[in-house]
């Protein structure tokens, strides 16, 4: 009898020790579900489903990725920032036709002025920039064997900054005049016989930024010109040249003429941007 009592007591002690050392079960967890790890947050559960872990780690990881992407973008960008003011200079080759859209050559030039010429030109402009738009005045001088071409007007440009590259396009218009008609009978009265009118210009190119301020690049432009020439009396022409004129040229010179021309230019541009 004593033997059986001792065995029962020993079994009770062993069972109680095993139960005390076991991990507690999560509230609401089904029988046989694993107990939560030591130190884990006490997460709510219902019907055997436990709420997901807090999002602090995921948010920290997302923030880190965004910061890395931003840093990479800044490294790839030129870091120029916004531009408020600009000025530039241009130069290159230009071909001009005074009567590109006029079959009757005696109408504008009276056969006394060369109607086509090629030569060099220089140009300068300045203005302000509002995000992607530029606006400001521009002047240009073309140097040709028989005359000079002067133009001044306004320009509106669109620019797309792509890191250190910046493609651009412009529309412009203004006043154009031809002077220094050295090889025509009008040379002694260039102020009275000057060919002048208006122009419209479209241009485009690609600038390369070599820093935050300095840029250079190629460009091309095309102009349309509407031109007029006042009539000049024969008495106002150089007497030594009047005799060499035909009757048709004398008549045409005395009448006012008009015509439509165009020009094509290719060259390079250097600019400062602030």
Residue of 195 and 75 predicted with greater confidence? 195
d(CA 130, CA 200): 23
Strand partners, 158: 133, 169
Handedness of CA 10, 14, 19, 21 (dihedral sign): positive
CA dihedral 263, 265, 269, 271 (to 10 degrees): 10
pTM recorded for the entire structure: 0.69
* pLDDT at residue 179 tops 70: yes
* pLDDT at residue 75 tops 50: no
Residue 146 and residue 114 in contact, taking contact as beta carbons nearer than 8 Å: yes
At 9 the three-state DSSP class reads: helix
Residue of 115 and 124 predicted with greater confidence? 124
d(CA 154, CA 127): 10
For the chain, the domains span: 85-273
Tens of pLDDT, residue by residue over 44-68, are 555 555 555 555 555 555 555 656 6
Q: Which CATH class is domain 85-273?
A: mainly beta
In this structure, what token pair is assigned to residue 247?
A: 């009757």
Residue of 137 and 41 predicted with greater confidence? 137
d(CA 100, CA 115): 9
Of the candidates 254, 36, 229, 271, the residue with the CA atom closest to the CA atom of residue 115: 229
Which residue has tokens 């010179």? 253
Q: Do the strands 49-50 and 45-46 form a parallel or antiparallel pair, or are they unpaired? A: antiparallel
pLDDT at 136: 98
pLDDT at 126: 97
d(CA 68, CA 263): 51
Mean pLDDT rounded to a whole number for the chain: 79
* pLDDT at residue 36 tops 80: no
Q: Which of 48-57, 128-137, 237-246 has the lowest mean pLDDT?
A: 48-57
Q: How many residues does the chain have?
A: 274
pLDDT at 244: 76
* pLDDT at residue 195 tops 80: yes
Band of the pLDDT at 232, cuts 50, 70, 90? Answer: confident
Which residue has tokens 């009008």? 186
């Amino acid at each position: 009898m004593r033997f059986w009592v001792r065995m029962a007591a020993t079994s009770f002690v062993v069972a109680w020790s095993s139960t005390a050392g076991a991990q507690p079960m999560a509230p609401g967890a089904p029988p046989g579900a694993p107990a939560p790890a030591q130190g884990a947050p006490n997460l709510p559960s219902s019907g055997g489903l436990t709420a997901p872990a807090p999002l602090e780690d995921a948010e920290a990881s997302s923030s880190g990725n965004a910061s890395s992407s931003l840093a990479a973008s800044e490294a790839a960008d030129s870091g120029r920032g916004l531009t408020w003011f600009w000025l530039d200079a241009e130069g290159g080759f230009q071909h001009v036709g005074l009567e590109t859209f006029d079959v009757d050559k005696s109408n504008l030039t009276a056969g006394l002025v060369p109607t086509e010429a090629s030569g060099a030109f220089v140009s300068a402009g300045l203005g302000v920039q509002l995000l992607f738009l530029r606006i400001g005045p521009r002047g240009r001088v073309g140097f040709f064997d028989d005359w000079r071409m002067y133009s001044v007007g306004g320009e509106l440009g669109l620019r797309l900054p792509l890191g250190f590259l910046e493609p651009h396009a412009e529309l412009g218009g203004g006043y154009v005049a031809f002077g220094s008609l050295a090889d025509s009978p009008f040379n002694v009265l260039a102020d009275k016989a000057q060919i002048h009118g208006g122009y419209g210009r479209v241009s485009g190119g690609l600038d390369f930024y070599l820093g935050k301020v300095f840029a250079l690049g190629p460009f091309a432009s095309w102009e349309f010109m509407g031109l007029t020439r006042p009539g000049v009396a024969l008495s106002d022409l150089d007497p030594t040249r009047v005799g060499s004129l035909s009757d048709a040229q004398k008549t045409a010179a005395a009448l006012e003429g008009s015509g439509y021309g165009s020009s094509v230019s290719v060259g390079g541009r250097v600019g400062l941007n602030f």
